[in-house]
Amino acid sequence: MQIISTNNLTDNQIKSIEKLLKKVHSFDHTFRIPYLSSDYNFDRDMPAFFLAYNDGHDLIGLLATYADSKDVEIQLKVDPDFRRQGVARRLYQTFLHETKTYDLNTVSFVTEEVFLDKNPNLIKNLNLIRYESEELQLSKKYKKEDWDKSLKDTDLIFEKARLKDVDELTQLMHEAFDSDINIAKRYNIASIESDTVDVYVLRNDKDIISRVSVDFASDVNYMYSVATKKEYLRQGHAYTLLAKTIKEFENKNIKDFQIAVDADNTKAKNLYEKLDFNVDTKILYLDARDMNEVF
């Protein structure tokens, strides 16, 4: 087995990962797709992706990190035909070795309830703790619709965010998600400068009222960081923004849409369901008691 680490995936590596993920999801009945860029990581030079190849040079395992701080989220994906052969252990040990100088604080494994149900001993065997916060991942099939018929007349402006909006977007994220200001600013700059992420806003002549980011690098349009300024809540602005954003992307590509929401955020879930999103899976986070004593 050969393991390659990188902080910047090539097109061929991404294609191999997509092929692996398709096989894994089909076998496990899972849905979660790792974020395949290090744009948001606290140090872009840190190795972020670890790829395991068999002797035939086929990709059989992936460890993908998401590290906007030194508390790192990990997704581990192993080809079903190569499980219980130490692939996950080797990937994780390589990750520990190659990130040792970055002084990481904690590690959290991202999984899905359906996978944990099939592997009930996973938490005990890997010395993990199930974090109480859970997410629902929802999806919406591509279908061209005339959203304008369901939208109220408005003088608000719908447009793509620009670098001049970074400070206002950062403050909005900080208030909505209690995000660290520096991390939120890094998010917004990286998103606006990205070739595969768009940030859309709904605004009046005074404020950015609502915002959403859309990552279209994979085979879905992944929507995230949906937030509305406090004084404009419960006025239908998030619905308007998302409906217009969906319409925008339905004219750009023919990909399905995905979005995630905290499992206890009933209002947001109801909003997404009004936009024809349906729940696919529940996302769980398993924290390592000691990141050096997992495998």
Evaluate the CA torsion angle 154, 158, 163, 168 in order and state its sign. Answer: positive
d(CA 280, CA 87): 28
* Residue 17 neighbours by CB under 8 Å, 6+ apart: 9, 34, 36, 51, 59, 62
Q: Could you read off the pLDDT of 177-219 as tens digits, one per residue? A: 988 899 999 999 999 999 999 999 999 988 999 999 999 988 8
Helix (H, G, I), strand (E, B) or coil at 263: coil
The string of pLDDT tens digits covering residues 138-149 is: 999 998 776 665
Indicate the average pLDDT of the chain. 93
Cβ(123)–Cβ(287) below 8 Å: no
**Three-state SS at 290:** coil
Task: State how far the alpha carbon of 154 is from the alpha carbons of 36, 120, 140, 243, 274, in Å.
Answer: 37, 51, 25, 14, 20
CATH class of the structural domain 143-254:
alpha beta
Tokens of 76: 């581990």
Name the CATH architecture for the domain at 2-133.
Answer: 3-Layer(aba) Sandwich (3.40)
Q: How confident is the model over 13-19, as a mean pLDDT?
A: 95
Q: Is the pLDDT of residue 70 over 70?
A: yes
Q: Across the strands, what pairs with 251?
A: none
pTM over 0.85: yes
CA distance 126 to 47: 23
Supply 200's token pair. 């859309």
* Stated length of the chain: 295
Structure token pair of residue 169:
């977007």
Q: Where in the chain is the domain with CATH 3.40.630.30?
A: 2-133, 143-254
